[in-house]
Structure 1
Amino acid sequence: MKMAHTCIRVKDLEASLAFYQKAFKFEESRRRDFPEHKFSLVYLTLPGDLYELELTYNYDHEAYDLGDGYGHIAISAEDIETLHAEHKKAGFNVTDMKGLPGTPPSYYFITDPDGYKIEVIRPKY
Structure 2
Amino acid sequence: MRILHTMFRVADLQRSLDFYINTMGMQLLRQKDNEEYEYSLAFVGYGSEEDGAVIELTYNWGKDDYDMGNAFGHIALETDDIYSLCSTLEEKGADVYRKPGPVKGGSTLIAFVRDPDGYAIELIQH
TM-score after normalising by structure 2 = 0.90
Write the distance in 2 (CA, Å) between the matches of 1:75 and 1:60: 30
Query: Which residue is equivalent to 2:125?
Result: 122
The one-letter code matched in structure 2 to 1:19 is F
CA deviation digits over 1:38-80, x for unaligned, max 9? 0011111214653210000000002111010110001111111
Matching residue within 74, 79, 87 for 1:85:
87
Query: Which residue is equivalent to 1:110?
Result: 113
Q: Which runs of 5+ in 2 are unaligned?
A: none
Residue 25 (structure 1) shift: 1.1
How many residues get paired?
123
Q: Which runs of 5+ in 1 are unaligned?
A: none
The one-letter code matched in structure 1 to 2:110 is Y
CA RMSD, Structure 1 to Structure 2 (Å) = 1.5
Query: Which residue is equivalent to 1:59?
Result: 61
Query: Which residue is equivalent to 1:18?
Result: 18
Higher relative strand content = 2
Residue 87 (structure 1) shift: 1.1
Write the distance in 2 (CA, Å) between the matches of 1:91 and 1:40: 25
Residue 105 (structure 1) shift: 5.8
Q: Residue 37 of structure 2: SS of its match in structure 1?
A: coil
The one-letter code matched in structure 2 to 1:89 is E
Write the distance in 2 (CA, Å) between the matches of 1:110 and 1:44: 17
TM-score after normalising by structure 1 = 0.90
Residue 36 (structure 1) shift: 1.3
The one-letter code matched in structure 1 to 2:80 is E
Query: Which residue is equivalent to 1:35?
Result: 35
Alpha carbons of 1:70 and 1:19: their partners in 2 closer, same or farther (altered >3 Å)? same
Say whether the 8 Å CA contact 1:97–1:105 is kept in structure 2.
no
Alpha carbons of 1:105 and 1:96: their partners in 2 closer, same or farther (altered >3 Å)? farther
